[in-house]
Structure 1
Amino acid sequence: MKKNWYLVTMFLLLVLMLIACSEGSAGTENTEADDVIEIVWYPNESGTDMKSSRDEIGRVIKETTGKEVEHHLTTDYAIAIETLVNNNADLAFMGAQGYIEANKGNDAIQPLVVPTGPSGTLDDAVYHSWLAVNVDDQENFKADGDFSLDTIERKSMSFVSTSSTSGFKVPASGIIEHFSKKEKYADLTEENLMEGGQLFSQVLFGNSHQGSAVNLLNGNAEVAAFCDTCVENYVEVAEGEANTVGAVYQVQDDASEPFNKLGGSEFTLMSVTPVLNAPFVANLDVLGQEDFDKLQEVFTSDEIANNEQIFVPEDSGESGLFFKSDKERFAPVEDSWFDPIRKLSEQ
């Protein structure tokens, strides 16, 4: 009997040692920098019209690091974030909220650069979160002649994703701030905005800014949240001044998917909110500090700032991820720069 217990004990110890060794090897393998740099893209930047921009950024990364580059296109914010968090990607371009979620899940994820504003600095490094309605329905969203958030109660709403900064986090914060002043909605939360039956009659998620806009234009939603930069390749100002309440936008006749069947459709802006620009972020455990430093140096260089395939001239009529109207470029940024978006979760 004693001999049997001894054998069982030794067997269990051997199994535990093998498991420990296996876990140690897996951890090392997952975080070891290799000779392929994987970039994961949000759905907003995964369209065919963005391919030339993605390819040029990939070319620069390959030339700088000497490593092959693989692009991973996604149809879901959560997939992109988890791919980075789980050490299955080196780099990603994501909104501030997505970065905050990724950093919370894995503190090796840090910001690489953000595109500046027209001044070439971080002072005006913002884009815009919109709440939009169809032009023909706009009077239904006005009180005393002006657009009012009071009118979105019991309407059908389209957001982008709960991980979207400008397509959920920022507009949700504004909506909650407005309605929580009313006794009926004193305890209104983000969770209440994620489904119908609370403030809205129905809630949809477009899974991309383009998808949320299409939900509005095809009549599936009466109000939609999306941002200016993600639809600027497909729409143009038809009336008013860009990024102002009351401005009317029209889908271009030759717009690519998913707007290719919506040419001429119009929407108007009932709310416009500035949002911190989206960063390129890196998983340092996968990418490695050496390549991080190399990429930060080249991304912030004059060469990249003047690369018209990355910063497409605004009046060129070409599609792109980033546009050049004045002195736009990439700039390094610290994690703390995103604290204003973090604080939205504390309200």
Structure 2
Amino acid sequence: MNKKWLTALMAMLCVLFLSACNSSSNDAASTDASTGPVTLVWYPNESGSELSASRDAFSALIKEATGRDVEHKLTTDYAIAIESIANGNAHIAFMGPQGYIEANNKSKDVQALVVPSGESGTLDDAVYYSWLAVPKEKAEDYKVDGEFSMDAIEGKSISFVSTSSTSGFKVPTSSIISHFSDKNLTEEKLMEGNDVFPTVLFGDSHQGSAVNMLMERSDVSAFCDTCVSSYVELVEGEANKPGAVYRVKDDAAAPFNTLTGEEFTLIQVTAVLNSPFVVNKSVLTEEEITKLKEAFISDETANNTEIFVPEDSGEAGLFSKSADERFLEVEDAWFNPIRELSK
């Protein structure tokens, strides 16, 4: 055989051998990736020990859908959760609309999977509520001509949740900027002391922001209804309406356990789009994502009392059931109203 042909043949065989090795290596890596644990990351609001049983119910749901074990990544900072899902260190996350938008901006592989519906079982009322609250005994100080007024919060100290929180920062700051249009406020200015609020605090969770107000570290606090529902009860007025009074339950878990009996009043309430479960498509297969979606939106899950805890059960849970609540498929565009707040 010609020496040049022999050399070329040997080179070709080497390439084929190396390609086969790489293919085997990639297949092995793919197998490892698809059989290792699924990491589910949670915001600080959902990382408390009192919600461990509720988180475990999602472990069972995800394991049944994917055949893979589930690891929970609990956090103390919104940024950790957002970065974890964006860079693929987590496969699934439960996060607010603003956090999802930030993660999606970092990586288009992050996509919304499902959101919890409203009581109707549809997206029509798939909302929760952003609150501005003050201690009950000081509520009258926030009225002008007998009505609660944003004018009365000027000069007060305020606590937000995190700059990545939808209902604990994005929504309330939007309304504050709009109301005090003559002050030239921006989100950046509202991250620290400014012309309206001499002191600005962050609670790092909705619970933490509420505690700041109850412990009088802040005059006013922003937080949402769902994140404190396990700790407080309505004692006066209509739920999610200005003037409603809530009381910390006698058996409230930390961080409210030293504040039992304390009461606060809502001075502003704003509806917010429900929070999604999201996935990172780079670390889950299309088949896994499809199976996850089918499992979440199934009637079986809608009727699972460990996931949708009956409202009158007295048990702590991530989601409650009062009527026809369930998970629904949702498209990225559904969150555009929150994106608009940044324009």
Query: Could you state the TM-score of these two structures normalised by the residue count of structure 2?
Result: 0.90
In the other structure, the counterpart of 1:54 is 55
Unaligned runs of 5+ in 2: 1-21
When the two chains are superposed, the root-mean-square deviation of aligned CA atoms in Å is 1.4
Q: 1:197, CA displacement in angstroms?
A: 3.1
Give CA deviations for 1:99-131 in whole Å, capped at 9, x if unaligned. 000000000000010000000000000000000
Q: 1:164, CA displacement in angstroms?
A: 0.2
CA distance in 2, matches of 1:199, 1:51: 39
Query: Is 2:278 aligned against 1:281?
Result: yes
CA distance in 1, matches of 2:340, 2:201: 25
Identical amino acids, percent of aligned pairs: 63
Report the residue type matching 1:306 in the other structure: N
In the other structure, the counterpart of 1:331 is 328
Query: Which residue, 265, 274, 298 being the options, matches 1:268?
Result: 265
CA distance in 2, matches of 1:197, 1:242: 32
Contact 1:192 1:199 in 2 (8 A): no
SS across alignment from 2:291: helix
Report the residue type matching 2:196 in the other structure: L
CA distance in 2, matches of 1:95, 1:75: 15
Contact 1:109 1:282 in 2 (8 A): yes
CA distance in 2, matches of 1:345, 1:314: 35
Aligned pairs for 1:214-293 within 5 A: 214-293=211-290
In the other structure, the counterpart of 2:128 is 127
Unaligned runs of 5+ in 1: 1-20
CA distance in 2, matches of 1:109, 1:85: 6
In the other structure, the counterpart of 1:6 is none
Corresponding residue pairs, total: 316
SS across alignment from 2:82: helix
Report the residue type matching 2:273 in the other structure: L
Aligned pairs for 1:1-347 within 5 A: 33-180=34-181, 182=182, 185=183, 187-346=184-343
Q: 1:141, CA displacement in angstroms?
A: 1.0
SS across alignment from 2:38: strand
Q: Which has the larger radius of gyration?
A: 2
Q: 1:32, CA displacement in angstroms?
A: 5.1
Higher deviation after alignment, 235-244 or 196-205:
196-205
In the other structure, the counterpart of 2:8 is none
Report the residue type matching 1:40 in the other structure: V
